[in-house]
């Protein structure tokens, strides 16, 4: 697979590169699933620290050889990052790899509905900051003999599984969005581009101007996946 992908929007290559770099921060052997169709490329990844699946989309040049191709391939995140040429606005695709289990099942392409009650970007960032502060405080309060990985994981699960505001979205989804650069700081969200919560069956998806984070509420992440959607 030698034909490069050409991005239509300024900064798209840099945005994809930044997403890949953040995934690799959490997993140096990370793989990503790429899907392209209708002129949109979607890059899917699963940062293991958050138990969510994230997607970064990018618009392709209309006359690109792969813009309207039904591309669906899993590749090394590191090799794809090496193939991104930000100045040229393109990415060279590496050889395919065997996909991890999470890449095998996708939620529905359509049927998403907006769910009310989600705080704005500033509110989500504040909730994540409060969770981080609580984790640190509780960790510091642990007696030395109880300061184990298992106990810290237990505290983390308790904090990050809490629902955000009056929704069913777990706080870990907002934490992942913030850590992956999907949640801009307060005041940085473009006018008319809200941060929204969407649902389809057992799936919940936090969509921001920079990307999405999806979780499967009913059965966890053993069969997790998402579909490529254009972000404003």
Q: Which residues contact 86 (CB under 8 A, 6 or more apart)?
A: 13, 14, 17
**Which of 18-22, 67-71, 208-212 is predicted most confidently?**
18-22
pTM above 0.95, yes or no: no
For residue range 64-108, list pLDDT tens digits in order.
555 556 789 999 999 999 999 999 999 999 999 998 998 887 767
Domain 5-104, architecture per CATH? Roll (3.10)
For residue range 186-197, list pLDDT tens digits in order.
555 454 457 999
φ, ψ (nearest 5 deg) of residue 64: -65, 145
Where in the sequence of the chain do the CATH 3.10.150 domains occur? 5-104
Calpha distance 26→148 (Å, rounded):
21
Burial of 113 per CB tally in 10 Å (0-12, 13-18, 19+): exposed
* Tokens read off for 154: 């237990």
The mean of the pLDDT values for the chain is: 85
φ, ψ (nearest 5 deg) of residue 202: -85, 0
Calpha distance 122→80 (Å, rounded):
32
Higher-confidence residue: 231 or 82?
Answer: 82
């Amino acid at each position: 697979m030698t034909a490069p992908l050409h991005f239509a929007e300024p900064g798209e290559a840099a945005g994809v590169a930044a997403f890949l770099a953040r995934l690799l921060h959490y997993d140096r052997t990370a793989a990503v699933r790429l899907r392209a169709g209708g002129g949109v490329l979607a890059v899917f990844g699963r940062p293991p620290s958050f138990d969510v699946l994230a997607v970064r989309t990018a618009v392709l040049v209309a006359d690109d050889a792969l813009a309207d191709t039904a591309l669906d391939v899993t590749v090394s995140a590191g090799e794809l990052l090496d193939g991104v040429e930000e100045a040229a606005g393109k990415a060279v695709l590496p050889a395919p790899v065997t996909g991890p289990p999470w890449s095998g099942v996708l939620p529905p392409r359509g049927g998403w509905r907006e769910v009310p009650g989600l705080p704005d970007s500033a509110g989500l960032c504040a909730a994540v900051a409060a969770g981080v502060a609580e984790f640190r405080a509780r960790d510091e309060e642990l007696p030395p003999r109880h300061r184990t990985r298992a106990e810290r994981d237990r505290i983390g699960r308790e904090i990050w599984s809490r629902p955000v505001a009056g929704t069913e979205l777990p706080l870990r989804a907002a934490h992942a969005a913030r850590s992956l650069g999907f949640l801009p700081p307060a005041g940085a969200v473009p006018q008319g581009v809200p941060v929204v919560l969407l649902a389809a069956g057992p799936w919940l998806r936090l969509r921001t101007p920079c990307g999405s984070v999806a979780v499967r509420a009913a059965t966890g992440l053993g069969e997790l996946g998402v579909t490529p959607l254009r972000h404003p």
